[in-house]
Amino acid sequence: MAIPDEKMEYRRLGRSGIKVSVLSFGSWVTFDTQLDTDLALECMQAAHDAGCNFFDNAEVYAGGKSETIMGAALRELAWPRWSYVLTTKLFWGIHGNDPNMRNTLNRKYLMQGIDGSLERFGLDFVDVVYCHRADPDTPIEETVWAMSDIVSSGKALYWGTSEWSADEIRAAIEIAERHHLHKPITEQSQYNLVERSKVEIEYARIFDDYGYGNTIWSPLASGLLTGKYRDGIPEDSRAALGGYGWLAKQITAEGAVQRVERLRPIADRLGCSMAQLALAWCTLHPMVSTVITGASKVSQVHQNFGALAVIPLITPEVKAEIEAALA
């Protein structure tokens, strides 16, 4: 089946007024590790040409170098600042083992962390800043006040959470409402065909009650859902990178590749790649505001954004077939 070109869809980020492209571009793993500034610029331009307006980053990615590379690319691209949505995340820290500046969401770290991110980006503000994980050692009230103050200061326009539990998200929203503070508007969690329970089960009430958004990461299960690991781990894949042994172990887990291979006949019949099928499937969940894609080369950006044309091909019948293949 020939797949026609498809225009980008834009969705509201949660119940906020801002709209983000349903497919977006992130820098996790690739920036600095696999992409220098020039190649990062080319990939970002390719995503932008496809209609992407959402670019994701984090303080901890490559120890701050990812933000520096993306900032340099944005300066060279010279896009109007109003034309794209830029995000970053704070929690892990990049200042060694200082007890107040790592694995925390205390006020001191957050207020200084956002300043460091903006300095590396070379910008006055980010559109969304996330708490990259929850912090059991800092009262949620302290974190909510600090994040709200960051928004009030204009250093970020919105704030969100990443890999928080539903109970933690609900507590943050209720604290913000009680004190008339800026509420978090979106989560950023892992979601894909083989990792689904958090979004589909745990967050169901959060979405229903608050319209909470989700800018999902790892939609291809770190490459597992592309089918490229059928014959082992390619040397140029992220699973072969130093420090990613955990990923190689996950990919080579007994039955993982074989289970994913059941999707290949469906993709072949639709005339798309397995990656495009997996990305398109992720967009179908109503809580998903955007699907963050990654790439180490421009050709991968083009392939990923080709999933736009696959979305309308996943009819209820095809979706049921996908479920049956993975059961």
User: Cβ atoms within 10 A of the Cβ of 98, count?
Assistant: 10
Q: What angle do CA 2, 325, 299 make, to 5 degrees?
A: 40
Q: Which two tokens stand for residue 204?
A: 């169901």
Q: Which two tokens stand for residue 69?
A: 């590379």
E-assigned strand segments in 171-320: 186-188, 213-216, 288-293
* Sign of the torsion formed by the C-alpha atoms of 101, 105, 106 and 111: positive
CA distance 54 to 67: 14
Specify the amino acid at residue 242.
Answer: G
Beta bridge partners of 192: 195
Residue 196 CB contacts under 8 Å (≥ 6 apart), including other chains: none
Residue 71 CB contacts under 8 Å (≥ 6 apart), including other chains: 120, 121, 122, 123
Torsion angle of the four alpha carbons 197, 200, 202, 207, in this order, in degrees rounded to the nearest 10: 160
Residues classed as catalytic = 61
Could you give the 3-state DSSP secondary structure of residue 21? Answer: strand
User: Cβ atoms within 10 A of the Cβ of 192, count?
Assistant: 21
Q: What is the DSSP letter of 192?
A: B
Could you give the 3-state DSSP secondary structure of residue 217? Answer: strand
Question: Tokens 């691209």 appear where?
Answer: 77
Q: Which two tokens stand for residue 152?
A: 């009030």
Could you give the 3-state DSSP secondary structure of residue 39? Answer: helix
